[in-house]
Amino acid sequence: MPRGTTLAFIALPLLALSLAYYAQSSSSPLGPAPHLGTGLQLSLALSGFIGYAQAAVQAPFRFKLSEQPAEAVLEADGCDEQGYALAPRPRFTRKIIAVGDIHGDIGNAERILQMAGVVDEDNNWSGNVDVFVQTGDIIDRGDDTIELFNWMEDLREQALAVNGIVLTVLGNHEYMNAIGDWRYVLDSEKKTFEPRGSRLEAVTTGWLAHAWAANYTTAARLPLHGLLGPPNTDYPPPKGSAFARANAGPLSHAAFSFVHGGLAPAYPNLQPFPSAINNLGSSLLRRLMERKPQPQPHPPSSYPGLPAGTTREEARLYGADGPLWYRGWADDDEKKACSKVDEVLAKTGTRRMVMGHTPQFDAIAARCDGKVLIIDTGISHAYGGALSALSIEYTLEPVNGGGWKEQEVVKALYADYDDELLVSSTRDLDGDLW
């Protein structure tokens, strides 16, 4: 049963390419050449455009038209009995690894990222996962602040070069350092900054503060499928947008959220998610950067608190039920917590939420049927907990005769013991994906 829209994706570019080929070969006995006439350029533009939509199906995180070679259009799988090309319905997968609080321990972080396949034995991006997410609290309780944040930026760059993605989320401890709450900073760690100048400058107005402002967010939303948009596409999506159409279809809410503490049901800035939270985070960080002079940190000075001019909403972002500090999903009893989960998932356009912050020393905790995943296992030697990573494998495969089979497999990976299956969820999707 051919579908109008998807049929057009394959039929139109094939038509365009054959016309182009015809135009080209009739003017050149040598056949298609790299320097092409107007006819072919136009057709390539058309197939490139159609390739865009197809690219979203085949490679959910690739959005650049230029990366979509015309040949990809020709890789369709077959024709129906009238000889029309059927919709290309490739199987595709996404592999996501998320790691919680690292707290200044690069040795354990390297073991985990190697174990989970994010990096190779030289700690360079391996290319074997699509997305790596870190949920904050890289700083404090250990000495390796500088190395760890530099490593995150290296991985971000290496990942980008091969269409991988690194998503980094700020924890309460990153904000504490920017604010001047240094209660968990080791003296030995302070010494690691000395050759590079002032630690206070680094975390308030210098290189670290700039990295946090530019490349870290306070919340992240990761659609599992590119039709729902690239990472941090807002939910609800703007009315009339392509992502709104996909969200109205069977892929609706096929996304995960990542924050450091948790998304409290009563927290007022859940929508649009994640930009409402991230805009508040950006403005608070900017306010912190602009303090003149920067207050001396506590201890030994007294706690400087949030800067003058901080809005009520910014203060609440950093409050006990804000995304940086909330512990309800970990600490509330299961019945109470789980009665509120669906409400938060519905508002944030997600199926599951991932968070760190509240250590579960033995194992990653999956609560409420795996809708709540708590991944801080006290990784740093400061805690001596389990060396863990969360693995999410998403698969969408075509079913003969129409529809799709969608699968999410969520596992806890451990450096020192066996993996544990947390969620295996399969659903049948009928009809077009959007």
Ligand X SMILES: *[C@@H]1O[C@H](CO)[C@@H](O)[C@H](O)[C@H]1NC(C)=O
**Using CB under 6 A as the criterion, which residues of the chain lie in contact with ligand X when the complex forms?**
122, 124, 153, 156-157, 160, 210-211, 214-215
**Closest to 297 in 3D by CA, of 189, 148, 380:** 189
| Gap between the Cα atoms of 322 and 264, Å rounded | 7
Q: How far is the CB of 168 from ligand X (least distance, A)?
A: 10
Residue closer to ligand X by CB (options 86, 165) is: 165
Residue closer to ligand X by CB (options 153, 332) is: 153
Sheet hosting strand 255-259, strand order edge to edge = 219-223, 255-259, 352-355, 372-374, 365-367
Q: How far is the CB of 160 from ligand X (least distance, A)?
A: 6
Q: How far is the CB of 18 from ligand X (least distance, A)?
A: 41
Q: How far is the CB of 336 from ligand X (least distance, A)?
A: 40
Calculate ∠ Cα 286-135-315, nearest 5°. Answer: 40
Taking every pair of C-alpha atoms in the chain, what is the biggest distance, in angstroms? 82
Q: Are 261 and 326 in contact (CB under 8 A)?
A: yes
Q: How far is the CB of 254 from ligand X (least distance, A)?
A: 27
Residue closer to ligand X by CB (options 156, 352) is: 156
Residue closer to ligand X by CB (options 120, 397) is: 120
What's at 363, amino acid-wise? A
**Closest to 228 in 3D by CA, of 216, 244, 215:** 244
Across 13-37, b (16+ Cβ under 10 Å) vs e yields bbebbeebeebbeeeeeeeeeeebe
Q: How far is the CB of 210 from ligand X (least distance, A)?
A: 4
| Gap between the Cα atoms of 129 and 126, Å rounded | 7
Q: How far is the CB of 214 from ligand X (least distance, A)?
A: 4
Residue closer to ligand X by CB (options 20, 119) is: 119
Q: Are 327 and 217 in contact (CB under 8 A)?
A: no
Residue closer to ligand X by CB (options 19, 165) is: 165
User: Phi, psi at residue 110, to the nearest 5°?
Assistant: -65, -40
| Gap between the Cα atoms of 361 and 383, Å rounded | 8
Residue closer to ligand X by CB (options 124, 301) is: 124
